[in-house]
């Protein structure tokens, strides 16, 4: 059974489970069948049943992580294609991003305080809507728990990726610009990946939302929390 812990088998399993998730969503048309969520469930079940340690799987996972950096850079391509339109709308976009950033930080802090969360937990939740590397660095700088932040960021991304477009449909938010910016702002990389499947315009504005919200969150979070008594 040593082949189960082989790094190439584990990489193939990762890609295979994601591809299976895409097929499952296509067949069922169920929004809940998001490929990333399906992949997580399949991989957790595999590790539990096979007895392969997470550390072993994570070693092979680093080979996939290497490609995340060029993948993020590639997000700039659809962004560049919409550059002229973005220039004309830059001020409204910036104001929208600022509102989204503030709403994301303030709302989660108020809810966490109301539910009796401790100060370290509240600090860990504050940067929930930005991509994991930025969120973890923000958490470290304000005294939170980086591992908790990483888990919350993934959960938030999955929730928005699964329900984001449905929610905006119920709210009658039909503008591709508004939808893309919202997904990038609220759901970071997962929202951007989901938006790429919708259209290039959605993907471009989601990339923009991800980038601007990451910058604003890293700059504003350390200042907002003291003002809220944290």
Reported pTM = 0.78
Spatial contact of 180 and 205, defined as CB atoms under 8 Å apart: yes
Residue 43 tokens read as 């991989």
Measured between alpha carbons, how far is 44 from 199 in angstroms, rounded to an integer? Answer: 31
Distance CA 218, CA 10 (A): 34
Number of Cβ within a 10 Å radius of residue 202: 24
For the chain, state the CA radius of gyration.
19
Q: Which residue has the tokens 């990489």?
A: 11
**Given pLDDT bands bounded at 50, 70 and 90, which one contains residue 110?**
very high
Task: For residue range 46-91, list pLDDT tens digits in order.
Answer: 988 888 888 888 777 777 767 766 776 777 777 777 788 888 888 9
Do residues 59 and 7 lie in contact, with contact meaning Cβ atoms separated by under 8 Å?
yes
How far apart, in whole angstroms, are the C-alpha atoms of residue 136 and residue 131?
9
Sign of the C-alpha dihedral, residues 175, 70, 124, 162? positive
pLDDT digits (tens, 9 = 90+) for 183-199: 988 888 888 888 888 88
In whole angstroms, what separates CA 194 from the centre of its chain? 10
Going by C-alpha positions, the residue among 77, 45, 33 that lies closest to residue 196 is 77
């Amino acid at each position: 059974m040593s082949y189960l812990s082989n790094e190439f088998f584990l990489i193939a399993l990762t890609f295979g489970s994601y591809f299976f998730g895409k097929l499952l969503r296509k067949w069922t048309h169920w929004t809940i069948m998001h490929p990333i969520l399906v992949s997580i469930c399949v991989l957790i079940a595999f590790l539990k049943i096979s007895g392969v340690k997470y550390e072993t799987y994570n070693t092979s996972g680093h080979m996939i992580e290497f490609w995340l950096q060029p993948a993020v850079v590639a997000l700039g391509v659809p962004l560049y294609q919409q550059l002229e339109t973005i220039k004309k709308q830059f001020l409204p976009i910036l104001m929208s991003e600022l509102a989204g950033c503030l709403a994301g930080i303030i709302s989660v802090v108020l809810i966490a305080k109301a539910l009796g969360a401790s100060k370290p937990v509240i600090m860990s939740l504050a940067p929930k809507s930005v991509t994991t590397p930025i969120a973890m660095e923000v958490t470290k700088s304000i005294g939170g728990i980086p591992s908790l932040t990483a888990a919350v960021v993934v959960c938030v991304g999955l929730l928005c990726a699964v329900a984001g477009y449905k929610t905006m449909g119920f709210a009658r938010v039909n503008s591709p610009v508004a939808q893309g910016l919202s997904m990038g702002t609220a759901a970071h990389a997962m929202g951007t990946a989901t938006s790429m499947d919708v259209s290039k315009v959605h993907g471009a504005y989601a990339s923009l939302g991800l980038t601007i919200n990451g910058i604003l969150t890293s700059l504003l979070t350390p200042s907002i929390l003291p003002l809220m008594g944290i």
